[in-house]
Structure 1
Amino acid sequence: MTYRAGWIHFTNVAPILDSLVLPAGVTAITGVPTEMNEALLSRRVDIANISAVEFIRNADALEALPDFSVAVLGPVYSVNLFHTQPLAELHRIALTSQSAMSVALLEVLLRGRGLSPVLERAEGTAEELLATGFDGVLRIGDSALREWYGVVGPLTPETTMTSLPHTARGITVTDLAEEWFALTGHPFTFAVWAYHRDNPPPPALVQAMREARREGIGHLAGVAGRHALKLGLPERVVQHYLWNFRYHLEAPDRLGLTEFAAMAVPGHAPLRFGPRPGVLETTG
């Protein structure tokens, strides 16, 4: 029987997916986060790197690989709120339909500040939507990374990658992962590799994913160079972007995920993870 994978192949998972060779009996499709969330929940695919919030919301049925994540400690650069007024003065924020995760994170952060602007679905670039009357626009993924650079770039040779700009031309770019770190001090886990508990992935697929991740992280400059060309961004910007990611769902990432789950989905079922390689692990 064929085992079906659903990949969200943004640049941030390139170190895992670019060199992945699927084993015999495994097929894969790609899509944006909301598409892959739906594909997994409807069982059109058997495993997907889905939004962490959908994993939390469906924790009664899903389990996640114990050592795979898309997480950051501090800024992420690709989950951005573009705004023309201070956060406390925002009235209308346009939301992307591509990511349930970023919307849930934005809602948590707004509640944490005691803010309640109107949130509306609308598609378009940040600058297009700001020009139509929104004073805030949520953008995610590769397009958000490009649009951040479109606002604050080009970087000068003197710009250090640890003090990147976030304001230009009357637009401020607020990085939601950085806001989460300021609020909690924890990493933020955007995605996990989840599957239905009654249909775990074949060991050959998980091993192939681990080998691909080792290859990608070990040759990060090459991965960044390829994707910089696709994105039309400087290679050093993309390499810095990829350096930030945490791909192993370590204890701090789980801690941040647990805290976010309590804030975003109170009363959720226990989060379950498969055993780590060579480790017998209880769930809970």
Structure 2
Amino acid sequence: MRPRVGHIQFLNCLPLYYGLVKNQQILLDIELIKGTPTELNRKLLARELDISPISSIEYAQNHHDLLLLPDLTVSADGPVNSIYLVSQVPITELDGKRIALTNTSATSVNLLKIIIQQKYNFRCEYFVCPPDLPSMLLEGEAALLIGDHALRAFYQKPPGLYFYDLGVEWKEFTGHKMVYAVWAVRKEFAQEKPHLVQRVYEAFISSMQYSIKHLEEIVKDAARWEIYTPEFLTHYFRGLEFSFDEEHKKGLLSYYECLAKQGIIKPIHQLNFIEVK
């Protein structure tokens, strides 16, 4: 049985999967299953996936059943350019207001709540809805968009709206990098099929290294099917980080500390990784 591997259908993950597409052999050896972060979270926990990128908060809530893959995240050191609070008023005027939340990522939703409550000391009313900006702003004073929906809204920049990059807000608040997604494997699968986990890990590392060397090629291919200019995409991809070094670990643990302070998760002091060669 081929390992079932999740694939986030957002542009921010394209560099991690682009090399896989170029290496057709590895695609024959895995079953690639696409979905939003929320969908992949559910599938991994329901044992419908063996290895998958998942929202950072999902690992925290299920770390007893999961192991992290080293060297793989979706992160940013400041601007992430695809997670925005889009507001009809300045963020300093949002105290007590209603905010529409996207239904596609729990990590970004809780990151926003940390920023609103711990950075600005505000209390807002939240409601969840599909990521359609006009509909969201009909009912709320502001809206949280992530991924391609956020990227598209920022690129088109409707007049009269304020855009706040949550990566910037987090960096200003904590001084840390922000880890939005991690790659996790079910412990049971890791124990039974360590050689397959190693194979998938090597494939993603190879894909990431290929993409770093061939960014111009990726941008050219992506620009053919998207509304964005190559210059915009180049700037976007260069702002993303995919490694998992000590600074990323500190940032992730800081995020977990903030979540625990709000009672969203129990305190986590250690990240557990699978051993790879």
> For 2:15 and 2:67, how far apart are their aligned partners in 1?
23
Give 1:150's aligned residue.
156
Query: How many pairs are equivalent?
Result: 260
1:89 aligns with 2:84: no
Contact 2:79 2:166 in 1 (8 A): yes
Residues 276 and 268 of structure 1, relative CA distance in 2, 3 Å threshold: farther
Contact 1:71 1:190 in 2 (8 A): yes
Shift of 1:63: 0.8
Q: Report the 3-state secondary structure (helix = DSSP H, G, I; strand = E; otherwise coil) of the residue aligned with 2:140.
A: coil
Superposition pairs of residues 85-124 of structure 1, within 5 angstroms: 85-90=89-94, 91-112=97-118, 113-124=120-131
1:71 aligns with 2:75: yes
Give 1:174's aligned residue.
164
Contact 1:8 1:32 in 2 (8 A): yes
Give 1:221's aligned residue.
216
Shift of 1:124: 4.3
Q: 2:248 aligns with which of 250, 253, 266?
A: 253
Shift of 1:2: 2.4
> For 1:29 and 1:59, how far apart are their aligned partners in 2?
22
Residues 172 and 87 of structure 1, relative CA distance in 2, 3 Å threshold: same
Q: Report the 3-state secondary structure (helix = DSSP H, G, I; strand = E; otherwise coil) of the residue aligned with 2:123.
A: coil
Normalising to structure 1: TM-score of the pair? 0.87
Give the CA RMSD over aligned residues. Answer: 1.6
Name the amino acid aligned to 1:135.
E
Gaps of 5+ in 1: 152-167, 278-284
Give 2:231's aligned residue.
236
Deviations 1:127-185 (A, max 9, x none): 3422x14110111101210111111xxxxxxxxxxxxxxxx622000000110000011
Contact 1:142 1:231 in 2 (8 A): no
Name the amino acid aligned to 2:136.
L
Superposition pairs of residues 40-79 of structure 1, within 5 angstroms: 40-79=44-83
Q: Which moved more, 1:219-228 or 1:23-32?
A: 23-32
1:10 aligns with 2:16: no
Contact 1:57 1:268 in 2 (8 A): no
Name the amino acid aligned to 2:114.
V
> For 1:82 and 1:3, how far apart are their aligned partners in 2?
39
Residues 116 and 231 of structure 1, relative CA distance in 2, 3 Å threshold: farther
Q: Report the 3-state secondary structure (helix = DSSP H, G, I; strand = E; otherwise coil) of the residue aligned with 1:7.
A: strand
Name the amino acid aligned to 2:129.
A
Give 1:165's aligned residue.
none
Give 1:162's aligned residue.
none
Contact 2:198 2:276 in 1 (8 A): no
Name the amino acid aligned to 1:263.
C
Contact 1:17 1:212 in 2 (8 A): yes
> For 2:72 and 2:225, how far apart are their aligned partners in 1?
25
Deviations 1:6-33 (A, max 9, x none): 1113111111102214365421110001
Deviations 1:213-246 (A, max 9, x none): 1111111111122223322011111111000111
Residues 124 and 194 of structure 1, relative CA distance in 2, 3 Å threshold: closer
> For 1:124 and 1:258, how far apart are their aligned partners in 2?
28
Shift of 1:249: 0.7
1:192 aligns with 2:199: no
Normalising to structure 2: TM-score of the pair? 0.89
Identity %: 30
> For 2:27 and 2:129, how far apart are their aligned partners in 1?
39
Shift of 1:123: 2.0
Q: Which moved more, 1:259-268 or 1:25-34?
A: 259-268
1:267 aligns with 2:266: yes
Contact 2:54 2:182 in 1 (8 A): yes
> For 2:159 and 2:202, how far apart are their aligned partners in 1?
47
Runs of 4+ in 1 over 4 A off after TM superposition: none
Contact 2:98 2:126 in 1 (8 A): yes
